[in-house]
Amino acid sequence: MRDALTAFLVCDNDFASLDTRIERESRDFLRKSQHAANVSSRVGAPVSPASGNASFQDQFADDQSVTAFEELDRRRSDTKEVESWIGSLRGQANIRNAARIADRIGSLLGLYQEDYDGKSLSSSSLITFIEFLNIYPESKFPSITATPMGELYVQWKHSENQRLGIQFMVGGEVKWALFKKNQYQEQLDQFSGKTFIRSFKDAAIALGVQEWIVE
């Protein structure tokens, strides 16, 4: 219970964007379960002992339990689950740069452990990123770094300072920031938002940055 309350406080420190906030949808547990199930069925669940994400989530049906799960995930120092998901990503032939991206995340895992006293990257963040790659299987090879919380921060750089950055979070959510040249004044417009991964494509189309992501 203490972990759950702590996690609630952390997650309640919500993000407010400057321009195009897409309202965070309610913490619909069924949606989270569906997300986990979708990913598992698409990419093949890892076989590590700690691989029971979806089934673990299925056992809980309230917001507090979900946030507690997130908190536990973040604190986890066991890298087996992340390594298992990296292996799963590597084997996905439908994703053009799967092996290269998997290699990068593998090396990032080691660097993150060095920086954060042996802690692991967030496996939930990686699951969200893999779901994204299944939506964009033709993705260019992006810049992949970590956030202090162990989430993946992925950037597609277009030209000069134009870029799209996406922070992959638990439960299929993303925060994103876009810096795009204004065609009239040659200045950079900035946009940001928070959305679920399946809704992100609509935003990318509306903002005209699909071709920044795919080859």
**Footprint of other proteins (CB under 8 A):** 10, 13, 15-18, 104, 107-108, 111-112, 114-116, 143, 145-149, 153, 155, 161, 163, 165, 167, 175-177, 179, 190, 192
Query: In angstroms, rounded to a whole number, what is the distance separating the alpha carbons of residues 171 and 66?
Result: 9
Q: Which CB atom, from 56 or from 116, has the smaller least distance to other proteins?
A: 116
Q: Which CB atom, from 148 or from 183, has the smaller least distance to other proteins?
A: 148
Sheet of 143-146, strand order: 143-146, 152-159, 162-168, 173-181, 188-196
Least gap, CB of 176 to other proteins (angstroms)? 8
Q: Which CB atom, from 39 or from 69, has the smaller least distance to other proteins?
A: 69
CB-based contact 57:65 (threshold 8 Å): no
Least gap, CB of 195 to other proteins (angstroms)? 13
Secondary structure in 3-state letters for 65-132: HHHHHHHHHHHCCCCHHHHHHHHHHHCCCCCCCHHHHHHHHHHHHHHHHHHCCCCCCCHHHHHHHHHH
Least gap, CB of 45 to other proteins (angstroms)? 26
Least gap, CB of 190 to other proteins (angstroms)? 6
- Residue 145 pairs in a beta bridge with 153
CB-based contact 110:147 (threshold 8 Å): no
Least gap, CB of 12 to other proteins (angstroms)? 12
C-alpha closest to that of 172 among 214, 131, 213, 120: 131
Q: Which CB atom, from 9 or from 205, has the smaller least distance to other proteins?
A: 9
Q: Which CB atom, from 94 or from 161, has the smaller least distance to other proteins?
A: 161
Eight-class DSSP state of 144: E
